[in-house]
Amino acid sequence: MSAKDQEIAKKVIEGVGGESNVSSVFHCATRLRFKLKDTAKADKEGLNNTPGVVTVVESGGQFQVVIGNNVPEVFKGIMDQTSLKDAESADKVEESGEKGSWLNRAVDMISSIFSPLLGALAGAGVLKGLVALFLVLGWINQESGTYLILNAASDSVFTFLPIFLAITSSRRFKTNMFVSVAIAGALVYPAIAAAQSAGTALNFFGIPIVLVTYTSTVIPVILAVWVQSYVEKFFASFVHQSVKNILVPMLTLLVVVPLTFLAFGPVGNIISEGLASGYTWLYNLSPIVAGLIAGGFWQVFVIFGVHWGFVPIMLSNLGELGYDTMLPLLAAPVLAQAGALFGIFLKAKNRDLKALSGSATLAGIFGITEPGIYGITLKYKKPFILACISGAVGAAIIGAGGGRAISFALPSVLAIPAYVGTGFATTVIGIVVAFALAALLNLFLFQEPVAEASASSAPAATSDGQPAAARVEEAVSAPAESLLKKEIIVSPLAGAIQALDTLPDPAFSSGAMGQGIVVDPTSGHLTSPAAGTVTTVFPTGHAIGITTDGGAQLLIHVGVNTVRLKGQFFDKKVKEGDRVEVGQLLLEFDLEQIKAAGYVTATPVIVTNSAEYLDVLKSTESAAKNGDYLLTTIV
C-alpha cells in the first residue's frame, strides 16, 4: 500500500466525520460504503474535492465514496488507521440514527452480504466459462483429470455457495460465524443431498420434511442465519457464562437446523424459484424489450447503488435453471461506457482528459465503470446518454439471440467465456456493437469544453465599497484527479435572496431560460457578478448579458415586465463588447420610482447555458450584498 493510498484513507476518515461517526464500512469493487451515525457531520463537498476520490454518492442508506480500482488499498489504510475491524465494521448494525426506508435497508443488506464474495464469484465464473470453452474447442475432455480439477476449482464456490453466504450473513446479522457455517453445512451435507436426489421420504419426529436442493441456493441460508441471530441471543440471555460457549451453539444448532429443513429452507427455496420464474416470464415476453430496458438503465442503477438487488435473481437463475439470461444483457451497457470513453480518448485534445479517458477505458473494458462514469461521461451528460443508448441497442441484440451465462461473472470482456453456448455469437456481436456504437457516437457528437487556464482574481471593491471576488477553479493536473471546473458568481445587487420559482414571471420561474436565483434589491446599484465581456445591453437598460471568463452566459434582468418602462429610470454604464471586472458598476436604476410605477423589482440572475453544466449551485443565505457569494457553476 502506497503513501498516497494512506493519505486518501486519512482524508476519507476525516471527510465522513471521523471514526466515531462510522457505524459500519466495507467496500465493493470501486466504492467505500459507509453507514454513518449522522450524515450531517460528513463533509461531502470536501470529499468530492479530495485527490483520489472520484465522487460521493448517497444511496440505499449508504454514504458511498467512489475511489476506483485501488479501493482495497484505501480500505486497508482505513483499517490500519482506525480501530474499525473488517469482521466487525463491515456489517455492524448502526447504533444510532435513522435506519431509513425498507428499500434502503434491503439494498444495504444485500450489498453487505454479497460484496465480499464478488471477487471469488467473478473469478470462478470466468474460469468456469474458460473450462466450457476448452471443452467446445476440444482442448480437454470430460473424462480427464485436468477437466475434473479445473471444474472443481471453478464450480466449488457455486456448489457450496450457502457456506460462503453463511460467513458474510453472520457478519451482517452479528452471529457466531462458525455456527452459521455449521447450519449451511447441514444444508449441503452429502447424505441429505443424496436423500433428496433419491427422493427418499424423511421426517423429523414424525413431521414430514420437504427436501429440496440447497447447493447453489441463496435465500434459504440467509433466512436461516437471520433466524439464528434471534435464537442465539435468546439462549445467550440466560445460559450461565461458564457453559455459554458450549450450550448456546449446541442449542442454536438444535433449533435452527431442523427449523430450516422444516420451514425456512422450503420457503426460501420457493422465493428463489419465484424470483427465477418471475424474471424468466418477463424475459420471455420479449427478450428484445428486456434487452432495451436492461441495457439502457443498468448504469443508472449502478450510479444509485441499487444494482445489488439483482444479484440474488442472477444467482437464483443459475441455481434453479442452470443458466442466467440477465448477465449477458448487462455486458452491453458496461462495454458501452468503455466505448464512450474510448471515443472521448480518440477525440480529446486536452492532455488530462485524454489521459483520464484512456485509463478509464481500460478499467471499463474489465468491468469497472465508476471512474469513467463519475469522472467523465456523467459529468458531460451527453457521453453517458449516448453510452446508455448504445448499451440498449447491444443488449437488444443479445436478447434477440437468446444469450445465456452458464456461470456468474461480472460483465466485462473477461466474462465472455461464461457466455459460451446458446446465443454466444449474438452475445459477442451485441457487445461489439455496444462498444463500437458508443465510441463512434462520442467521436462525432461529443464536444470537448474549451479548456480554461487556472485563474483567480484578487478581491475588488464594488461601488458600495463591499469586497467582491470571483475565481475559476481549474481542473487539477493529475489525470487520476477530478476534471471539474468551478466558477463563482457573486451577487450583482444588495437585497433578499429568493428561489427562482418564486418570481411571478413563468419565462424565468419555469427554468426555461436556465437555472439561477433571484435578488430582490434594496438599492439601485447593479455591479458585475464576474469578470468577462458584456455581450448584451438591452436598449431599455433593464437587462444585461455577460459571458464570463469561465464560459458562463449570464442574464441579469431587473424586475418583471420592466421593458415597458422603455428605459425610464435606468442609467446604463457599459455597452456591448466592454470588458468588465468583478464589482464594476454596470447599471444604476431608480428603485423607488420603478416600484411606484407598479412593477416588481425582484431581479433574476440566470445562467442561460446551464444545460452545459453538471450543476449550478445556489446560495443558501437569505440576503446578500454586492459581491457576496451567489452561484457556483460546475462543469
28 is a catalytic site residue: yes
Return the C-alpha cell found at 109: 443488506
Closest CA to 622 of 456, 491, 488: 491
Dump the DSSP string for 45-65.
HHHHTSTT--EEEEETTEEEE
Helix/strand/coil for 479: coil
Ranges in the chain, pLDDT < 70:
1, 28-30, 59-60, 68-69, 85-108, 111, 118, 122, 272, 275-276, 303-309, 370-371, 374, 449-485, 635
Q: Do 164 and 120 touch, CB atoms closer than 8 A?
A: yes
DSSP state of 551: S
Dump the DSSP string for 295-317.
HHHHHHHHHTTGGGGGHHHHHHH
What's the CA gap between 364 and 121, in Å, rounded? 19
The pLDDT, as a whole number, for residue 454 is 34
User: Cβ contacts of residue 295 below 8 Å, gap of 6+?
Assistant: 329, 330, 332, 333, 336, 388, 391, 392, 393, 394, 395, 396, 434
The pLDDT, as a whole number, for residue 307 is 66
Closest CA to 372 of 8, 30, 28, 18: 30
What's the CA gap between 312 and 218, in Å, rounded? 7
Query: Measured between alpha carbons, how far is residue 252 from residues 164, 181, 229, 232, 258 in Å?
Result: 19, 12, 9, 6, 10
Q: Do 377 and 470 touch, CB atoms closer than 8 A?
A: no
- Choose which CATH entry (2.20.25.90, 3.30.1360.60, 3.20.20.70, 1.10.260.40) describes domain 3-100: 3.30.1360.60
User: pLDDT tens for residues 3-55?
Assistant: 888 889 999 999 999 988 888 887 766 678 888 888 889 998 888 888 888 77
What's the CA gap between 93 and 23, in Å, rounded? 7
Element of type H or E holding 107: helix 102-114
Fold type of domain 455-634: Glucose Permease (Domain IIA) (2.70.70)
What's the CA gap between 380 and 591, in Å, rounded? 41
The pLDDT, as a whole number, for residue 161 is 86
The pLDDT, as a whole number, for residue 232 is 93
The pLDDT, as a whole number, for residue 428 is 94
The pLDDT, as a whole number, for residue 469 is 41
What's the CA gap between 567 and 35, in Å, rounded? 58
Closest CA to 323 of 122, 115, 129: 129
Delimit the domains of the chain by residue range. 3-100, 160-283, 286-440, 455-634
Helix/strand/coil for 207: strand
Burial class (CB in 10 A: 0-12, 13-18, 19+), 135: middle
The catalytic position among 9, 12, 22, 28 is: 28
Place of cell 451567489: 630
